[in-house]
């Protein structure tokens, strides 16, 4: 059936529900090049304003999945379960979680991305390990899932290719921040990847792109519904992203911190969030193993080493922070009332750990070590942050930003909770 792009845009603009036929036609015609970018961007903006009903969104997501290949992981000897985070500052959880959950008996197909803006990308972090490669073929990925149980690699171009075009278009047309568009973009790739179960870590707070709990709930329940409708057991965990997760923010810095956690140590918040997400993932695939044991007995670390080696990386390589280094100290005494994750994320980005455009390189060693957390008592002159950069120019840029990252007051703030709500169907 053939429609006119103008009619579809106008219908959505006027708040109508698009029919399955209209949605199928417009996405297929866009893929064929018959609907132009300027028409699709107008439609995306109309969707930004008018939203999509769940039936529309399900069809929209179906067509994005159908635009490319889909993997089938059901033939593997273990159940598959994946995790997706909507992006936070210092979020290195995947590096620990994938091997941990594999050590407990599931397999974890983590197709990841690179960072843009103030949030880092898992692939950028692992790239700081000499020899490690992100690009795997579908067959390599499957083989590694069978042999090692965990894989963190780049999503292949064959999965939901229309999403790739739509994402690039949204990025330049101010249409990123739309719950149906975000949901269909994330879920089309996860569903196409073939995982049987999925835990969504939906970040909310200053350092996340979702700032309010209401919006986080809406995004989470939209994605959970989409997953369940497509036969993927899906649970969302809302987690606080007001202050950075752990101490390290930067690529190699976060890998170093992840190794501490994999060896049974590391920051409490990173350990606790990882364990909570691992439990939820294991529940979804019916594995009754306590992930705490697998972290403490070294099994998770062993899987991590195998996972890195399987992708050409040297797990024993010594990772070092960037050479230009500075300590930022407190200029007043009191309680740390906030450590602004957005501010720290931007500082790390400016120090060289992040990129402004997709094609920019990132520094492996640059970043921020956060030496205080909300609620800490601090005296004047005590260290707050360590900054790392490859040169003085980047250091200066990061220094300028980090000033505003900490607030110190006289009253001790309430203890922050990371785990907020869990959203199931």
Coil, strand or helix: which one is 149?
Answer: coil
Q: Which is nearer to its own copies, 175 or 225 (CB)?
A: 175
Q: What are phi and psi of 199, to 5 degrees?
A: -110, 130
Shortest separation between residue 357's beta carbon and its own copies, angstroms? 12
Q: Which is nearer to its own copies, 48 or 304 (CB)?
A: 48
CB-based contact 237:277 (threshold 8 Å): yes
CB-based contact 103:300 (threshold 8 Å): yes
Spatial distance between the Cα atoms of 246 and 370, rounded to a whole number of angstroms: 8
Shortest separation between residue 173's beta carbon and its own copies, angstroms? 4
Q: Which is nearer to its own copies, 132 or 349 (CB)?
A: 349
**Residue 361 corresponds to which tokens in the numbers above?**
């390189």
Contacts of 16 (CB under 8 A, 6+ apart): none
Q: Enumerate binding residues for its own copies (CB under 8 A).
A: 5-6, 9-10, 13, 36-46, 48-49, 169, 171-175
Chain mean position to CA 340 = 19
Instruction: Write out the catalytic residue numbers.
Output: 84, 163, 170, 185, 189
CB-based contact 353:363 (threshold 8 Å): yes
Q: Which is nearer to its own copies, 171 or 296 (CB)?
A: 171
Shortest separation between residue 185's beta carbon and its own copies, angstroms? 17
Shortest separation between residue 116's beta carbon and its own copies, angstroms? 13
Shortest separation between residue 277's beta carbon and its own copies, angstroms? 32
Spatial distance between the Cα atoms of 134 and 190, rounded to a whole number of angstroms: 17
Spatial distance between the Cα atoms of 154 and 144, rounded to a whole number of angstroms: 14
Q: What are phi and psi of 412, to 5 degrees?
A: -70, 125
Q: Which is nearer to its own copies, 56 or 82 (CB)?
A: 56
375: left (phi over 0), alpha (psi -120 to 50) or beta: left
Spatial distance between the Cα atoms of 26 and 46, rounded to a whole number of angstroms: 14
Shortest separation between residue 20's beta carbon and its own copies, angstroms? 20
Q: Which is nearer to its own copies, 36 or 157 (CB)?
A: 36
Q: Which is nearer to its own copies, 42 or 336 (CB)?
A: 42
Give the C-alpha distances (Å, rounded to integers) separating 251 from 86, 311, 326, 358.
18, 18, 18, 16
Spatial distance between the Cα atoms of 244 and 357, rounded to a whole number of angstroms: 23
Shortest separation between residue 80's beta carbon and its own copies, angstroms? 37
12-16, long-range: CB < 8 A, 24+ apart: 12/43, 12/46, 12/47, 12/50, 13/46, 13/49, 13/50, 15/50
Q: Which is nearer to its own copies, 9 or 241 (CB)?
A: 9
Q: What angle do CA 198, 199, 202 make, to 5 degrees?
A: 135
Shortest separation between residue 115's beta carbon and its own copies, angstroms? 18
Q: In what order do the strands lie in the sheet with 197-204?
A: 81-85, 197-204, 233-240, 419-423
């Amino acid at each position: 059936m053939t429609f006119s792009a103008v009619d579809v845009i106008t219908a959505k603009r006027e708040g109508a529900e698009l029919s399955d036929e209209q949605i199928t036609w417009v996405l297929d015609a866009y893929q064929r090049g018959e609907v132009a970018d300027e028409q699709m961007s107008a439609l995306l903006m109309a969707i930004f304003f008018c939203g999509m009903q769940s039936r529309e969104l399900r069809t929209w997501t179906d067509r994005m999945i159908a635009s490319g290949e889909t993997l089938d992981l059901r033939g593997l000897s273990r159940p598959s379960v994946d995790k997706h985070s909507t992006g936070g500052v210092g979020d290195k959880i995947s590096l620990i979680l994938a091997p941990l959950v594999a050590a407990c008996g599931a397999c974890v197909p983590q197709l990841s991305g690179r960072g843009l803006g103030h949030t880092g990308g898992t692939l950028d972090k692992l790239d700081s390990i000499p020899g490690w490669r992100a690009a795997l073929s579908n067959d390599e990925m499957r083989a590694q899932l069978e042999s090692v149980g965990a894989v963190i690699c780049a999503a292949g171009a064959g999965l939901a290719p229309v999403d790739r075009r739509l994402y690039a278009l949204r990025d330049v047309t101010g249409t990123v921040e739309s719950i149906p568009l975000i949901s269909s973009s994330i879920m089309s790739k996860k569903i196409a990847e073939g995982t049987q179960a999925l835990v969504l870590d939906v970040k909310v707070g200053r350092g996340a792109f979702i700032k309010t709990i209401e919006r986080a709930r809406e995004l989470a329940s939209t994605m959970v519904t989409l997953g369940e409708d497509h036969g993927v057991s899906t649970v969302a965990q809302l987690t606080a992203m007001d202050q950075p997760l752990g101490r390290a923010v930067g690529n190699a810095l976060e890998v170093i911190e992840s190794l501490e956690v994999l060896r049974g140590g590391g920051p409490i918040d990173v350990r606790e969030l990882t364990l909570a997400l691992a439990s939820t993932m294991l529940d979804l695939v019916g594995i009754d193993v306590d992930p705490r044991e697998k972290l403490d007995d070294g099994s998770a670390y062993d899987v991590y080493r195998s996972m890195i080696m399987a992708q050409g990386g040297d797990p024993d390589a010594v990772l070092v922070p960037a050479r230009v280094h500075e300590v930022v100290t407190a200029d007043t005494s009191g309680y740390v009332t906030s450590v602004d994750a957005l501010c720290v994320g931007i500082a790390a980005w400016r120090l060289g750990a992040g990129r402004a455009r997709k094609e920019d390189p990132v520094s492996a060693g640059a970043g921020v070590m956060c030496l205080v957390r909300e609620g800490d008592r601090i005296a004047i002159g005590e260290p707050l942050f360590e900054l790392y950069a490859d040169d003085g120019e980047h250091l200066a840029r990061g220094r300028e930003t980090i000033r505003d990252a900490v607030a110190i007051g006289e009253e001790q703030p309430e203890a922050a909770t990371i785990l907020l709500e869990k959203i199931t169907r």
